[in-house]
Amino acid sequence: MTDLIRLTACDAVDLLKSGEVSAKEMIAAAFDRIEAVDGTVNAMVIRCRDRAEAQAETADRDSLLAGLPVGIKDLTELAGVRCTYGSPIFKDFVPDFTDIPAANLEANGAIPIGKTNTPEFGAGANTFNAVFGITRNPWDISKSCAGSSGGSAVALATGQCWLASGSDLGGSLRTPASFCGVVGLRPGPGRVPRLNPGDPFGSMSVEGPMGRTVEDTALMLDAMAGRDPRDPISQPAPDRPFRDTCRLTPPPKRIAYSLDLGGIIPVDPQVRAVFEAALATLADMGVDLVETCPDFSRAIETFGVLRGLGFVNGHRDKYADPAQRALLKDDVIWNIEFGQRLTADAIAEAQRNRGALYMEMVSLLTAQGFDAFVCPTAIVPPYPAEQLWVDTVNGVRFDNYIHWLAMVSAITLTGMPAVSVPAGFTPEGLPIGIQFVGGPRGEGRLLGHARHFETAVGLSTGLPIDPRGSV
């Protein structure tokens, strides 16, 4: 059982398909590991073993994932499984439906074994809530695992599952991946269909895969993607599977890069050191590196406006109900109230700014001939778990909890797929990732370029780990 948790998802699926291991054995291995480590890190906060074992009885070895156990972020509904959204308002909610990303995973042979922790409604880059408490970083349990897909990142890093789902508005897949030493892909809008009746044409928030390796993440994307009529912006799956494209894409030849997105955000010296080492690795691979980037000068303001608009859309009914409002955390209330103060002119200007940024990134990654754009994922290494958010870097103070996320939220605005890949460690042994950004609808090629970098740095064999440190 110990050996099974150390398999990559791709290797585990191969064993499942060959019949050398059964879905029941994989489930048993996962729950043995959960019992061994999750009391320390608090990642797999809701478990559905009976449901998983029932699914294992009929697992299809010929399906894409062949009965592989996976974790599902607790913002995504699974029929018959408690779904809290990290909020005391929904602490006892059990949906009777499954959202599309999880349904696609199940249809492709995945077996959900539990729900992973998230901040309330995904609001926050530190994974804690009033229902389940803090999820801790396994590399040092006194540190944050980031958010909002922190539970999924920690479950992967500690070997509780082989793949896990996430979602990403302003970095919720990518920042936890960086903090926990795993891979997190923010696909382009519409690549992974989802139910979003309040904003079905919205393109800021997306669902996506997380894995221990780039190829594992590509495999999971194959199991999540596809056209669904309930999502009006969803896209058909590509003719060639993402995993195949990932494996067959040649190394990148020309990459644009920026340490700080043109100076819009400060970067901790430890992150700078790992990023510069990553650039050296790319140079050793024969990549032509050019320091350039689109004009991100208005990205922080633009993202704040569009995020505020989204929070009004998604949560104004809770805010209007005094009983529910009393249970909302301050960050959610702040987002809603900020959104309610927006003017039509401010919203229109933000949309124009986003459109201009999109066109600049398209030009960079098509007309100018760059294979990818690279920047850090997070501007700091993992910080103390009890700290709500990063308020100061290099003497620069931030006045709200989303400002420090500009490195990822600015990339969200471009609409391009982006993946965080482990790049190195601080002197204290804390992971740091870098972010590869690809062209429109270019997830497979992006993953291929990231895989070549992953191979060059050689960090993917270090997982899973046992939780380290003390509180």
Average pLDDT score over residue span 70-96: 98
- Indicate whether 17 pLDDT > 90: yes
How many C-beta atoms surround the C-beta of residue 250 within 10 A? 10
- Indicate whether 14 pLDDT > 70: yes
Integer Cα distance of 199 and 201 in angstroms: 6
Q: Answer whether 264's CB lies under 8 Å from 297's CB.
A: yes
- Indicate whether 2 pLDDT > 80: no
- Indicate whether 1 pLDDT > 70: no
Q: Per-residue confidence at 412, pLDDT binned at 50, 70, 90?
A: very high
Integer Cα distance of 271 and 277 in angstroms: 10
Q: Which residues are catalytic?
A: 73, 148, 172
Rounded to two decimals, what is the model's pTM? 0.98
Which of these, 383, 313, 431, lies nearest to 127 by C-alpha position? 383
Q: Per-residue confidence at 353, pLDDT binned at 50, 70, 90?
A: very high
> What single letter denotes the amino acid at residue 43?
A
Average pLDDT over the chain reads 97
Q: Answer whether 119's CB lies under 8 Å from 128's CB.
A: yes
Backbone dihedral angles phi then psi of residue 168, each to the nearest 5 degrees: -150, 120
Which of these, 143, 204, 225, 201, lies nearest to 176 by C-alpha position? 143
Question: Measured at the alpha carbon of residue 30, what is the angle toward residues 183 and 146, in degrees to the nearest 5?
Answer: 35
Q: Answer whether 181's CB lies under 8 Å from 145's CB.
A: no
Which residues have C-beta within 8 Å of that of residue 304, sequence separation ≥ 6?
338, 402
> What single letter denotes the amino acid at residue 322?
P
Q: Per-residue confidence at 349, pLDDT binned at 50, 70, 90?
A: very high
pLDDT digits (tens, 9 = 90+) for 130-184: 999 999 999 999 999 999 999 999 999 999 999 999 999 999 999 999 999 999 9
- State both tokens at 81: 């499984």
Average pLDDT score over residue span 396-425: 97
Q: E strand or H helix at 212, and its extent? A: none
Integer Cα distance of 240 and 306 in angstroms: 34
What DSSP state is assigned to residue 249? P
Hunting for tokens 């492709």 — which residue is that?
Answer: 108
Integer Cα distance of 139 and 276 in angstroms: 22
- Indicate whether 384 pLDDT > 70: yes
Backbone dihedral angles phi then psi of residue 284, each to the nearest 5 degrees: -65, -25
- State both tokens at 291: 């320091």
The residue ranges of DSSP E strands in 153-253, in sequence order, are 163-168, 183-186, 206-211
How many C-beta atoms surround the C-beta of residue 444 within 10 A? 23
Q: Per-residue confidence at 368, pLDDT binned at 50, 70, 90?
A: very high
Distance of alpha carbon 168 from the chain centroid: 6
The residue ranges of DSSP E strands in 395-451, in sequence order, are 396-397, 418-425, 431-437
Which of these, 350, 365, 357, 349, lies nearest to 449 by C-alpha position? 365
Tell me what pLDDT residue 88 has: 98
Tell me what pLDDT residue 16 has: 98
- Indicate whether 453 pLDDT > 90: yes
- Indicate whether 39 pLDDT > 80: yes
Coil, strand or helix at 99:
coil
Coil, strand or helix at 78:
strand
- Residue 20, exposed/middle/buried by CB under 10 A (0-12, 13-18, 19+)? exposed
Integer Cα distance of 93 and 75 in angstroms: 12
Integer Cα distance of 74 and 121 in angstroms: 9
Integer Cα distance of 75 and 86 in angstroms: 8
Coil, strand or helix at 288:
strand
pLDDT digits (tens, 9 = 90+) for 286-340: 999 999 999 999 999 999 999 999 999 999 999 999 999 999 999 999 999 999 9
